[in-house]
Structure formats: structure tokens, C-alpha cells
Amino acid sequence: MKPFSYSLALSLLLLTAATGAHAQTRRPVPGKPTPGKTTPKGRPGTGTKVAPPPAPIETAKRVEASADEDKPPLIITKVKLKDPVLVFYQQAGPPNAVQQLLMDEKTMGLLKTMPLEELVARREVFVDGLGNYDPPKGTTDAAKYRLTGVSLLANSEKRKSAPDGRSTYARLKVPSPGDLYVVRESAEEYRHFVSGPQKKGSRIDFSTNGLPGIDSVRAVYTLRKIDMSERGAGGGDIIR
């Protein structure tokens, strides 16, 4: 009987040890706090609200003296947009004005609620520049660069339908570090654009005023590298 008693005692001992080990390694039930531990406060959870990105801020204002004494000095400011898009705006009816507007993607909802005149007057909306300027003073190798319109930055991007159902837009590939340049200009050069044949492209009609209540616009430009032979025309490759 002794061998049997020893075997029974050994089996009970092993069973007790296994049960104790299982109890020690048992995982806590999800959703229930572990004894002796507190849940840290301030962790974001379901329903946490994220603050919207701030509106574009124009910085680094620079005043460039004009070569023509009769013209006011050129004021250039820098601006950065988180998700810039170029909107090819199409007016709903006569005079069928068109315009190329730059804005952040999150502000495109304004296209459904505002006419062109009000859009251009808003701080969040810029007009694709038509000018051709020397780069700001202090630019390295300034002779190799020009400030030109931003439309070429969207040439490789597919156009999509804008929220107003008439216009289209394309994303803007802004060269690093993402700076764009804003110049306050007379609206005279921008007010005569109307839609082309079959509402494709644009043409100039001097009898039309697409910006009747606007005296000046905030035109936006990008810094582009050009060949010396093209300096006067403003052509060249975009800095990537």
C-alpha cells in the first residue's frame, strides 16, 4: 500500500502546483481595472474632438522698391496652406466669368454659397497671379529665379469636380518648403476673363467685368527656376 499512497500524494501535489500557476498567470478581463492599478487620465477616446487647422497666415512681409518712381512699392508676403488646391472657377450664368482661385481644400465649401465677387474678397481665397516679378531680395542666386503664377504646379494633377458642381479643381504640388508669395495687385487685369467655346478654357472679353465690386486682388505666386534665355518670359522648370 505504501507505493500507492506515495503515488497519490505526488499526484495531488502536482495538481495543486498547476492550479496555483494558472491562477497567477490569468489575464485580466478586458474592460475591468486591474486591482492596484489606476487608469491614466487624459487619453483620447471615442468622440474626442480634434481642433481644425488654423487659417492661412501671411508672414515675412517684404517691401520691394519699384524701379518706376510713379508706381507704389511692391509688397510681398509669404503664405503656407496645408492642402492647397487650384480651383478653375466657372460662374453659373452671365457674364460667365471664369477665374483661377487658390484656396485650402477645406474651404472649398464656400464655392456653393458665395459668388465670385465675394470669394475674391475673402482672406482665405487667392487669385492665380498673372504677373512676373523678380524674386524677393535675399534670395540665393536671385538671377536664376522669378515669381510666376501657380497654375503649372497643378498641371500634372487630375482635375476633379468642385462642390458647386460647375467648377473643377486640382491639387497643388508646392515646392519645398511650401512657401507661396502673395502680392496685392489691381483687379483690372483679372476682371475680363470669361469661359471659352463650349465652356472650355477661357478668353478675354473687355466688355465684361467679372469683378464689378473689386478694386484689388491678392495674387499668389511661386518661386520658379528659369533659364537665362527665358528670363523675360518667365518660363522654366518648377523647383521640386
**150-158 mean pLDDT:** 91
pLDDT in tens, 180-214: 999 999 999 999 999 988 777 889 999 999 999 99
The three three-digit cell numbers of residue 110, written as one number: 464656400
Place of cell 502680392: 183
What's this model's pTM, rounded to 2 decimal places? 0.69
Cα of first residue to Cα of last residue in the chain, in angstroms, is 91
pLDDT in tens, 124-133: 999 999 999 9
